[in-house]
Amino acid sequence: MKSYQGTFVKQNGDERTMTFVRLADMPEDFIATRVKGTGKKANLTEGRELVWDLDAAAFRVFNWKTAIGDIVEAEIEEAEKNENNT
Protein backbone atom coordinates (compact mmCIF):
# COMPACT_ATOMS: atom_id res chain seq x y z
CA MET A 1 0.00 0.00 0.00
CA LYS A 2 1.25 3.50 -0.82
CA SER A 3 1.83 6.15 1.80
CA TYR A 4 2.67 9.80 1.33
CA GLN A 5 4.45 12.44 3.37
CA GLY A 6 3.94 16.11 2.75
CA THR A 7 3.76 19.51 4.38
CA PHE A 8 0.97 22.00 3.89
CA VAL A 9 -0.22 25.27 5.40
CA LYS A 10 -3.22 24.84 7.66
CA GLN A 11 -6.13 27.28 7.64
CA ASN A 12 -4.70 29.07 10.70
CA GLY A 13 -1.36 29.62 8.91
CA ASP A 14 0.62 26.91 10.72
CA GLU A 15 2.60 24.38 8.71
CA ARG A 16 1.79 20.71 9.19
CA THR A 17 3.77 17.71 8.02
CA MET A 18 1.69 14.58 7.69
CA THR A 19 2.36 10.97 6.77
CA PHE A 20 -0.84 9.59 5.29
CA VAL A 21 -2.59 7.10 3.06
CA ARG A 22 -5.11 8.22 0.47
CA LEU A 23 -8.49 6.55 0.94
CA ALA A 24 -8.42 5.20 -2.62
CA ASP A 25 -5.28 3.23 -1.68
CA MET A 26 -6.79 1.68 1.46
CA PRO A 27 -8.61 -1.64 1.76
CA GLU A 28 -12.40 -1.14 1.93
CA ASP A 29 -12.70 -3.23 5.09
CA PHE A 30 -10.24 -0.94 6.89
CA ILE A 31 -12.34 2.12 6.06
CA ALA A 32 -15.66 0.41 6.82
CA THR A 33 -14.57 -0.44 10.37
CA ARG A 34 -13.65 3.19 11.10
CA VAL A 35 -16.43 5.19 9.44
CA LYS A 36 -19.28 6.29 11.65
CA GLY A 37 -22.27 8.48 10.90
CA THR A 38 -24.76 8.74 8.10
CA GLY A 39 -22.46 7.66 5.30
CA LYS A 40 -22.92 11.06 3.66
CA LYS A 41 -19.87 12.22 1.75
CA ALA A 42 -18.09 15.25 3.23
CA ASN A 43 -18.16 18.43 1.16
CA LEU A 44 -14.51 19.43 1.05
CA THR A 45 -13.41 22.51 -0.82
CA GLU A 46 -11.27 22.09 -3.92
CA GLY A 47 -7.77 20.87 -3.15
CA ARG A 48 -8.66 19.26 0.18
CA GLU A 49 -8.67 15.49 0.53
CA LEU A 50 -9.77 13.22 3.35
CA VAL A 51 -6.85 10.90 4.20
CA TRP A 52 -5.80 8.48 6.94
CA ASP A 53 -3.06 10.07 9.08
CA LEU A 54 -0.65 7.27 9.99
CA ASP A 55 0.83 9.10 12.99
CA ALA A 56 -2.51 10.09 14.54
CA ALA A 57 -4.28 6.88 13.42
CA ALA A 58 -7.27 8.99 12.42
CA PHE A 59 -8.91 10.64 9.44
CA ARG A 60 -7.53 14.09 8.63
CA VAL A 61 -7.73 16.52 5.72
CA PHE A 62 -4.67 17.23 3.56
CA ASN A 63 -4.72 20.54 1.68
CA TRP A 64 -3.06 20.02 -1.70
CA LYS A 65 -3.52 23.70 -2.65
CA THR A 66 -1.20 24.86 0.13
CA ALA A 67 1.33 22.01 -0.13
CA ILE A 68 4.94 23.05 0.40
CA GLY A 69 7.64 21.26 -1.58
CA ASP A 70 7.33 17.74 -2.86
CA ILE A 71 4.97 15.05 -1.64
CA VAL A 72 7.09 11.95 -1.02
CA GLU A 73 5.56 8.58 -1.89
CA ALA A 74 6.61 5.35 -0.15
CA GLU A 75 5.45 1.76 0.05
CA ILE A 76 4.18 0.51 3.43
CA GLU A 77 5.33 -2.95 4.44
CA GLU A 78 2.75 -5.42 5.76
CA ALA A 79 4.15 -5.24 9.34
CA GLU A 80 3.80 -1.44 9.37
CA LYS A 81 0.19 -1.67 8.17
CA ASN A 82 -0.65 -3.99 11.05
CA GLU A 83 0.96 -1.63 13.59
CA ASN A 84 -1.11 1.30 12.29
CA ASN A 85 -4.40 -0.62 12.19
CA THR A 86 -4.91 -0.59 15.95
Give the pLDDT confidence of 20-72 residue by residue, as tens digits: 999 888 887 776 677 666 566 668 889 999 999 999 999 999 999 999 999 99
Residue pair 26/34 in contact (Cβ under 8 Å)? The answer is: no
Residue 71's domain comprises 2-84
**pTM of the full predicted structure?**
0.77
What pLDDT shows up at residue 79? 44
For the chain, the domain total comes to 1
Between 77 and 4, name the one with better pLDDT.
4
What pLDDT shows up at residue 44? 86
Confidence of residue 18 (pLDDT cuts 50, 70, 90): very high
